Copies of this chain bind each other. A is one copy, B any other.
């Protein structure tokens, strides 16, 4: 009889509602401000780039928001995702800790991003939108939106951060196979892109720049709206299916986590695994430590400032109260493209300010070492982004070995690294530094 290490749920256990953390905050969040008037943004401001149904969701404080059937039907293609206990990693670390991971890489894109892409495509579709414009860093978000648009019959235009466009040709091909149009950003498609290129033709791009291009495209093209893959409340909201499923699966395993870990770039995957556990801390008086892990080279939560800042480089988005390195911060070319963002989701920032979550920064070589140890024990080659979470899970497991504590650790393996192999190659060849 082999040990139970895989905790599967049937399709009927896909959550019926998303969990909205805004409903449980001990102190309300500061509102986003209009960049010109510095007054709280109005519905009209927001609907210039988003459909009204998503703007209402962005501002909602309803606790449970029902997941529409057409969205759950697409979720059923891969959800509920598995939760596994990493017994091989535990053995390699000789730790008394139990390490669990929720694996979001089983869908066609290979990451958690489709959870919100599908929802956003659906809401845009029923709002009568014909075309979505977006930006993408590592390509996970762009390919998720490309697939989601294909499923709901929308056109999709993606501005992909140039350094990732060049480093990750497969991600671009993935988007094209799902029928999207993809340009490297900064591009010659927008006024902003042309201006940046005129100043620096070799500019590697950043998420902030690509957002500016996608927003410019949106306001200038008929029947087009903008879609964002992280940061905003409604995006964090859609990801909460992850944590809700994980809570049920941990119960199947007969345990409850002492520590929950997620990597954080814009914050959506961290929100997905973390927010439902934050709720359990607040409501059920649980005492789980909930940790966001960011790259040392782009560490908004641990090295940034909590203040109003723009979401993009061209200063066109509303001002958001968040931990930020500054909207003109140019992150170094680290390989975890999905974590190269100057700010942090306002909801995640707010929880950090209230002391409800913890944050740690991790250097790149430690991240890849952890990713390789995981691949060689558990099989799955993690994307560099969740390898940040793995690094901290391993730290926790080693601490438990030293103290003898039977700690229960859960992290979100938000995607696999099949299309990130050149980064592993560079690491194995000794070409990566911190």
User: Which positions in A face B, CB cutoff 8 Å?
Assistant: 1-6, 8-12, 69, 72-74, 76-78, 84, 88, 106-110, 147, 150-151, 170, 173-174, 176-179, 372, 375-381, 416, 418-419, 421-422, 424-425, 428
Contacts and interface: CB of A to CB of B under 8 A. Distances in A.
A181 to B, nearest CB: 12
B11 A4 contact: yes
Contacts of A177: 372, 375, 381, 421, 424-425, 428
A176 B425 CA distance: 8
Contacts of A419: 170, 418
15 contacts: A1-B69, A5-B77, A6-B11, A8-B9, A8-B10, A8-B11, A88-B151, A108-B378, A108-B380, A108-B416, A170-B170, A174-B381, A174-B418, A176-B428, A178-B376
A425 B177 CA distance: 7
Interface centre among A11, A173, A379, A428, by most chain B C-beta atoms within 10 angstroms, is: A379
B418 A418 contact: yes
A421 B418 CA distance: 12
Q: How many copies does the complex hold?
A: 2
A381 B177 CA distance: 8
A79 to B, nearest CB: 8
B76 A2 contact: yes
A108 B73 contact: no
Contacts of A421: 170, 173-174, 177
What are the nearest 7 A-B pairs in CB distance?
A108-B379, A173-B421, A6-B11, A108-B380, A2-B73, A2-B72, A177-B424
Nearest to A382: B108
Contacts of A424: 173, 177
Interface centre among A174, A177, A179, by most chain B C-beta atoms within 10 angstroms, is: A177
Contacts of A77: 5-6, 84, 378-380
A44 to B, nearest CB: 35
Given A6-B11, A88-B151, A170-B419, 8 more contacts: A2-B73, A77-B84, A173-B421, A173-B425, A174-B421, A177-B424, A418-B418, A418-B419
A151 B379 contact: yes
Contacts of A108: 375, 378-381, 416
